[in-house]
């Protein structure tokens, strides 16, 4: 089985072809970084128009690289939410159109479920497992029992970890997306220097997170610093250390509470080396997709579609499933 996946929920326009036996035949991503750079963040209307401009070419390229063409695709999966509604509409409408024209099943995919199942594509791991989903829009810990079977154990009470990194990068004068920029700058410092940043929620019962206080602490510290890389590097390191430590603390709580033996990380922030090291030190088998498949991509959407089809979880009227800005797992 070959599934074409389409991802347009934020600022990456992506298409991929994945096989039922876990081979990624193509995985094409066009980032809209340049389009949003003048505004200092992702502008939903700009994103929707950029998806319209880029998506036909990206889908054509994904099919060509997979050497299968439209006729070689057995199903089409597209992100139908959650995300920026204009972009989600662009990707899901094109996916539905291709599926209808080819008379193959259309699978509406929840973007969070696609992140949640990526480690099964990359590492073939079995259910159940504990999942840390940590991205620009979400920070949550879930128990993944099967396809479509998720239990929320904890989530952020305010900002997502990626949001904290992106906003902190902005006040530190770094480029977007902030997470990778913070990681690169942190590598230039031996340690966090004089900066003592808070570890919100560390040691508290439960598995919830909070990142807005950390973000504020970084802003206050950055305001007093010269905007030179050498001055900012220890602050970037201190921020990265705090994020990694808090994520690991909360996952440690979740491992204790559930007795789970496998911890999986997913989402853009899971690409961070310090975060991966901190999670890898916990008493569990730790699995994280390669960094390129942690952030938004269409291979994960094609794979989630494959899993849903196999589990018989695709609605009969899937072409009428709407695009949703909010869609909790």
Q: Which residues bind Zn ion (CB under 5 A)?
A: 135, 296
Q: Tell me: does residue 162 bind ligand KG4 (CB under 6 A).
A: yes
**CA-angle at 141, arms to 138 and 144, nearest 5°:** 115
Q: Tell me: does residue 296 bind ligand KG4 (CB under 6 A).
A: yes
Q: Tell me: does residue 289 bind ligand KG4 (CB under 6 A).
A: no
Question: Quick one: what does residue 58 bind among ligand KG4, Zn ion, none, with the CB cut-off 5 to 8 Å set by partner type?
Answer: none
* Least Cβ distance, residue 36 to Zn ion (angstroms): 16
Q: What is the DSSP letter of 321?
A: P
Q: Tell me: does residue 135 bind ligand KG4 (CB under 6 A).
A: yes
Question: Quick one: what does residue 171 bind among ligand KG4, Zn ion, none, with the CB cut-off 5 to 8 Å set by partner type?
Answer: none
**What span, in angstroms and rounded, lies between the C-alpha atoms of 92 and 305?**
13
Contact track, ligand KG4, 300-329, x by CB under 6 A: ------------------------------
Question: Quick one: what does residue 162 bind among Zn ion, ligand KG4, none, with the CB cut-off 5 to 8 Å set by partner type?
Answer: ligand KG4
**What span, in angstroms and rounded, lies between the C-alpha atoms of 308 and 301?**
11
Q: Tell me: does residue 116 bind ligand KG4 (CB under 6 A).
A: no
**CA-angle at 196, arms to 192 and 198, nearest 5°:** 120
By C-beta, is 177 or 200 nearer to ligand KG4? 177
CB 87 within 8 A of CB 51: yes
* Closest by CA position to 117, among listed 272, 276, 5, 284: 5
Q: Select from 67-75, 102-110, 175-183, 227-235 the region that touches ligand KG4 (CB under 6 A).
A: 175-183
Q: Tell me: does residue 180 bind ligand KG4 (CB under 6 A).
A: yes
- Provide the sign of the torsion angle of the four alpha carbons 307, 308, 311, 316, taken in this order: negative
Q: Tell me: does residue 179 bind ligand KG4 (CB under 6 A).
A: yes
Tokens of 132: 């840390």
Cα separations (Å) of 163 from 64, 167, 295? 35, 6, 14
Q: Select from 28-36, 147-155, 161-169, 205-213 the region that touches ligand KG4 (CB under 6 A).
A: 161-169
Long-range contacts of 125-128 (CB under 8 A, 24+ apart): 125/262, 125/264, 125/287, 128/260, 128/262
Q: Tell me: does residue 177 bind ligand KG4 (CB under 6 A).
A: yes
* Least Cβ distance, residue 155 to Zn ion (angstroms): 15
**What span, in angstroms and rounded, lies between the C-alpha atoms of 186 and 189?**
5
Q: Tell me: does residue 10 bind ligand KG4 (CB under 6 A).
A: yes
Among 238, 271, 278, 304, binds ligand KG4 (CB under 6 A): 271
Angle between helix axes 161-171 and 178-186 (nearest 10 degrees) is: 70
Nearest residue to ligand KG4 by CB is: 179
Interacting residue ranges for ligand KG4, rule: CB under 6 A: 10, 135-137, 162, 165-166, 177-180, 183, 267-269, 271-272, 295-296
């Amino acid at each position: 089985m070959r599934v074409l996946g389409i991802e347009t929920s934020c600022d990456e326009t992506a298409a991929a072809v994945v096989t039922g036996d876990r081979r990624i035949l193509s995985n094409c991503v066009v980032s809209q970084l340049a389009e949003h750079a003048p505004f200092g963040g992702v502008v939903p209307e700009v994103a929707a128009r950029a998806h319209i401009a880029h998506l036909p070419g990206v889908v054509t390229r994904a099919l060509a690289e997979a050497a299968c063409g439209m006729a070689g695709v057995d199903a089409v999966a597209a992100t139908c939410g959650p995300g920026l509604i204009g972009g989600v509409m662009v990707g899901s409408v094109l996916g539905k159109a291709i599926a209808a024209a080819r008379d193959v099943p259309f699978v509406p995919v929840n973007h969070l479920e696609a992140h949640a199942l990526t480690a099964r594509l990359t590492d073939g791991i079995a259910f159940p497992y504990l999942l840390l989903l940590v991205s620009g829009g979400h920070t949550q810990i879930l128990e993944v029992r099967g396809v479509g079977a998720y239990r929320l154990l904890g989530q952020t009470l305010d900002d997502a970890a990626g949001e904290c990194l992106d906003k902190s990068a902005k006040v530190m004068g770094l480029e977007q997306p902030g997470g990778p920029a913070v990681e690169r700058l942190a590598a230039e410092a031996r340690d966090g220097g004089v900066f003592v940043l808070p570890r919100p929620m560390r040691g508290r019962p439960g598995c919830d997170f909070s990142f807005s206080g950390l973000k504020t602490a970084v802003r206050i510290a950055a305001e007093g610093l010269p905007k030179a890389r050498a001055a900012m590097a220890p602050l970037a390191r201190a921020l990265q250390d705090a994020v990694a430590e808090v994520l690991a603390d909360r996952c440690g709580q979740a491992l204790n509470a559930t007795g789970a033996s496998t911890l999986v990380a997913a989402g853009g922030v899971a690409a961070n080396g310090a975060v991966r090291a901190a999670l890898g030190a916990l008493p569990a088998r730790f699995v994280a997709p390669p960094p390129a498949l942690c952030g938004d991509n269409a291979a994960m959407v094609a794979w989630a579609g494959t899993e849903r089809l196999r589990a018989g979880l695709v609605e009969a009227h899937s072409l009428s499933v709407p695009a949703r800005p909010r869609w909790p797992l």
